[in-house]
């Protein structure tokens, strides 16, 4: 670890950086190393600590183990926050390799316990907690590799990985418990070749894909209102996560067992919705992953509540919607974490752990609290009312913020000088360099775009030009754009060749005279 910030630069080599830009539609295969790695990493966690979703979860062995893992992750979160630590590439790779090995070993250990008939709950809980922790670390690695990308690439990546993991988890659910754990352990080890595979492919941030202006990746390119929306989204996720925690153990905190039909229905529903989201995003449908995804998740929460009330003797019907909601929240949180990693100035692991603390922390605390609360007051009507109220709150927090975004955009130029930062934005590490420097950067970006139109510069050359004109060194330009210094140097040489200018000062003089 190093306390010196070096920029959130994705892993890659010079060969990767020099590859020509690629479109998502023609190069989806380039994402496969990451999709397979993330999918198998997540599946190992679900098979070990969630019982392959033969029920909504494994109770204390799921959410209790998650709380233990979150406590450990919170320690690292504090270290990264207080020390402003940046984890180097070498350390990241070592952590990942260790995480894969431990994830596979814990799965094998759980399988051995089942084969030997050793039902020691303490040992099982310890292995489940360790698997939850190290699986989280492997998931972070794959999300970290995707930072700096755009809307379409990020969405295709996370929802494809979710689909792949759901297929594996379902197949493991058909096997005896020990066999399922062994199969999952073997597939977890596939992450090793995926790491090597990914290093020799075009990196996600090099795949050309537009970011919609009304999407998280579009928001991150604007000013303070975008950061406020990301903060509001975190609050909305927190409230909805509490609902998920309560729904998964409805009504008394105990897991809800699936029948074969409802288990298959959950898997098909999750894969179907995920596939539809990918298709809509590839079709460039606006707000699929902002308003749309929240509406779908809140609808699933409402359907789960209705099903629980309508079929009190067949709770697995409601559990179909509950577990689908939980799975979609997984992919959506991954997506948001990538957006935070791409924009924030802190180390990527800061945002990954923060996402876990909000999403899984709220869910786990709600679930454990339900177990205790229901023993004191077994009131199903009150429980339904509480969950309904939380669904409404999560909806209002996010959708009202969307209205605020629209209003701010209408008066953007009037409000730029009066923008203020919220405490939550600062905590989330999205506040650095938020001042008049942002206005200057936006102005320079505009000037670079004007020059780009005049001299037929590529989009990447315009990005390099804007940073170079701001006074950034070639090394700093490379760090900001996730490219090597050699690539930055090559872009600057081409800019000089196309414009006929010969120095940074000549570029600034030209901008002042010929751009507005």
Nearest-CA neighbor of 142 among 31, 37, 8, 239? Answer: 37
What does the DSSP 8-state code read for residue 22?
A: E
User: 315-344 in b/e burial notation, b at 16+ Cβ within 10 A?
Assistant: bbbbbbbbbbbbbbbbbbbbbbbbbbbbbb
Is residue 451 within 8 Å of residue 515, measured between CB atoms? Answer: yes
* Distance between CA atoms of residues 209 and 283, nearest Å: 12
Looking at 249-345, which runs of residues are DSSP E strands?
none
Residue-wise pLDDT tens digits, 486-508: 888 888 999 999 998 988 888 88
Neighbours of 62 (CB within 10 A): 25
Minimal CA–CA distance to 362: which of 245, 253, 251, 232? 245
pLDDT of residue 460: 87
Place of tokens 């989806």: 28
Residues of the chain with pLDDT under 70: 1-28, 202, 205-206, 208-230, 343, 374-380, 397-440, 515-516
The span from the CA of 350 to the CA of 32, in Å, is 26
Options 3.40.1190.20, 3.30.70.360, 3.90.1150.10, 1.20.1250.20; CATH of 25-410: 1.20.1250.20
Residues 6 or more apart whose Cβ sits within 8 Å of residue 246 = 366, 367, 370, 383, 386, 387, 390
Q: What's the pLDDT at 504?
A: 85
Q: Which are the contacts of 217, defined by CB distance < 8 A and separation ≥ 6?
A: 149, 150, 151, 154, 211, 339, 342
Calpha distance 450→457 (Å, rounded): 10
Around Cβ 177, how many Cβ atoms within 10 Å?
Answer: 18
Q: For 360-379, how does the pLDDT look when each residue is reduced to its tens digit (9 = 90+)?
A: 999 999 888 888 776 656 66
pTM exceeds 0.95: no
pLDDT number for residue 50? 94
CB neighbours of 161 closer than 8 A, spacing ≥ 6?
A: 34, 35, 36, 38, 39, 42, 142, 331, 334
Q: Where are the domains of the chain?
A: 25-410, 436-514
Tell me the CATH number for domain 436-514.
Answer: 3.40.50.2300
Task: Please determine whether the domains at 25-410 and 436-514 fall in the same fold group of CATH.
Answer: no
Give the whole-angstrom CA distance, residue 223 versus residue 419.
Answer: 9
| pLDDT at position 14 | 36
Longest Cα separation, the chain = 81
Report the interhelical angle of 315-343 vs 348-376 (nearest 10°).
150
- Distance linking the first and last C-alpha atoms of the chain: 44
Dihedral sign for Cα 230, 231, 232, 236, please.
positive
Helix/strand/coil for 342: helix
Q: What is the pLDDT of residue 1?
A: 41
**Residue 118: what pLDDT?**
77
Q: What is the pLDDT of residue 5?
A: 36
């Amino acid at each position: 670890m190093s306390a010196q910030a070096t920029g959130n630069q994705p892993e890659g080599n010079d060969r990767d950086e020099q590859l020509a830009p690629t479109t998502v539609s023609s190069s989806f295969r380039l994402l496969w190393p990451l999709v397979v790695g993330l999918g198998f990493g997540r599946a190992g966690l679900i098979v070990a600590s969630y019982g392959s979703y033969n029920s909504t979860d494994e109770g204390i062995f799921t959410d209790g183990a998650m709380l233990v893992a979150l406590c450990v992750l919170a320690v690292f979160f504090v270290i990264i926050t207080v020390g402003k630590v940046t984890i180097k590439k070498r350390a990241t790779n070592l952590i990942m390799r260790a995480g894969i090995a431990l994830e596979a070993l814990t799965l094998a250990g759980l399988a051995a316990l089942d084969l030997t008939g050793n039902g020691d709950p303490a040992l099982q809980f310890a292995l489940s907690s360790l698997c939850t922790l190290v699986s989280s670390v492997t998931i972070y690695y794959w999300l970290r590799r995707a930072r700096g990308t755009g809307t379409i690439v990020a969405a295709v990546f996370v929802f494809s990985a979710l689909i792949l993991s759901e297929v594996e988890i379902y197949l493991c659910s058909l096997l005896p418990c020990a066999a399922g754990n062994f199969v999952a352990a073997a597939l977890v080890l596939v992450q090793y070749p995926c790491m090597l595979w990914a290093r020799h492919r075009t990196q996600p941030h090099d795949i050309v894909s537009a970011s919609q202006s009304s999407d998280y990746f579009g928001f991150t390119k604007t000013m303070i209102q975008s950061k406020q929306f990301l903060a509001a989204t975190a609050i909305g996720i927190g409230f909805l996560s509490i609902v998920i925690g309560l729904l998964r153990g409805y009504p008394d905190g105990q897991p809800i067992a699936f029948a074969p039909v409802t288990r298959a229905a959950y898997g098909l529903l999750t894969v179907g919705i995920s596939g539809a989201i990918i298709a809509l995003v590839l079709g460039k449908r606006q707000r699929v992953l902002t308003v749309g995804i929240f509406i779908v998740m809140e609808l699933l929460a409402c359907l789960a509540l209705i099903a629980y009330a309508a079929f009190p003797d067949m709770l697995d019907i409601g559990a179909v919607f509950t577990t689908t909601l939980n799975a979609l929240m997984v992919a959506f949180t991954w997506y948001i974490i990538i957006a935070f990693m791409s924009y924030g100035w802190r180390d990527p692991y800061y945002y990954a752990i923060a996402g876990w603390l909000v999403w899984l922390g709220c869910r786990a605390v709600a679930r454990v609290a339900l177990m205790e609360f229901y023993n004191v007051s077994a009131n199903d009507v009150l429980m339904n009312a509480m969950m309904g109220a939380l669904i409404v709150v999560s909806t209002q927090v996010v959708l009202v913020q969307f209205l605020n975004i629209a209003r701010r955009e209408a008066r953007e130029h009037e409000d730029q000088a009066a923008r203020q930062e919220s405490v939550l934005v600062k905590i989330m590490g999205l506040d650095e360099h938020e001042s008049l420097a942002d206005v200057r950067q936006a102005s320079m970006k505009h000037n670079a775009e004007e020059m780009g139109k005049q001299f037929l510069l590529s989009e990447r050359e315009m990005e390099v030009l804007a940073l170079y004109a701001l006074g950034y060194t070639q090394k700093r330009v490379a760090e900001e754009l996730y490219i090597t210094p050699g690539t930055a140097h090559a872009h600057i040489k081409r800019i000089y060749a196309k414009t006929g200018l010969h120095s940074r000062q000549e570029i600034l003089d030209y901008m002042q005279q010929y751009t507005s």
